[in-house]
Structure 1
Amino acid sequence: MKFKPKKDLLYGLILLPLGIFFIGFGASFPFIFEANLVSIFVITGLCIPLGFFFLWCWFGTSYLISEETLVVKQGPFSRSITIDKIETIERNTMPLLSSTALSLESYIIQYKPYQTFIIAPENIEEFVGKLQEKNNHIKFTRK
């Protein structure tokens, strides 16, 4: 079952304008500035992919629960977590620090010994319920 991420306006106000800016700046740089060929390739080659990366992270984040795994996709990155290895899911108390989630209301999945990943599905109750159907030992703390 596929779950959409919860998206906060704050993250949208950061990622979307940055993505559009970098794509626009990278595409218009050769026409606006009188720069040498190397500068044009470097600036354009860095800005346009970076802009697409920000947009891909915003539009390409999802959580997929299959029979045995939880697959977290975020832009070009994907992580697969075996559901049997998940120990706890708890509220993230420091959401702005080291979070790849698109919401301030995020949760930490702890799996294996000392391995964690931060998520923010739209409906956390349904998401955790589906995971607990497959592994009833998962402890969920909403705090």
Structure 2
Amino acid sequence: MYFSSKKDSWMTIIVWLFAFLFIVPPIFSPDFGVWMTPEFLDQHWIKIVFLCPIGFCLLWIWFKTGYTIQNNFIKIQYGPFKKEIKIDEIHSIRETKNPFTAPSLSMYRIEINYGKYNTIQISPKNIDEFIYELEKRNSNIQIKKI
């Protein structure tokens, strides 16, 4: 079962703004901005080669962030990055509100504690349904509500 990531409006603005700034100016306005580079690096194609992949990576993260519960695993995809977690290894889940790094596009997240000391924060669009699917597969998971 696939769960897409919840997307906050502030994250929408940040991702799309930076993707735009990394893709459009290097292609259509090569003299845009201050480029503190040596003369031999201050060429149009070098700006495209270095900046456009960053912009496209941001868009890849935007469109391909989601979580799949399949068999006995949670498969997390965050753009080009992937991770699998065994559902049997999950011992607790708690809701959290955190703006810092995680494979999610929202501040409203759940923190999954698994293994001995491992933690990951994700933000499925429908948190209750996601937790319900996990509990069906592992009834030993402790759920901590805020």
Q: Same fold (TM over 0.5)?
A: yes
Instruction: Report the counterpart of residue 87 of structure 1 in structure 2.
Output: 91
Which amino acid counterpart does residue 98 of structure 1 have in structure 2? T
1:102-141 alignment runs, 5 A limit: 102-141=105-144
Detail structure 1 runs of 4+ shifted over 4 Å in the superposition.
none
RMSD of aligned C-alpha atoms? 1.8
Instruction: Report the counterpart of residue 4 of structure 2 in structure 1.
Output: 4
Whether 1:52 and 2:56 are equivalent positions in the alignment is: yes
CA contact (8 A) 1:25 1:47 kept: no
Whether 1:23 and 2:23 are equivalent positions in the alignment is: yes
Could you tell me which runs of 5 or more consecutive residues in structure 1 were left unpaired when the two chains were aligned.
Answer: none
The structural deviation recorded for 1:70 is 0.3
In structure 1, how many angstroms separate the alpha carbons of the residues matched to 2:42 and 2:88? 50
**Could you tell me the percent identity over the aligned residues?**
31
Instruction: Report the counterpart of residue 82 of structure 2 in structure 1.
Output: 78
Instruction: Report the counterpart of residue 98 of structure 1 in structure 2.
Output: 101
- C-alpha deviations, 1:75-115, integer Å up to 9, x for none? 0000100110011111224x113333211111111100110
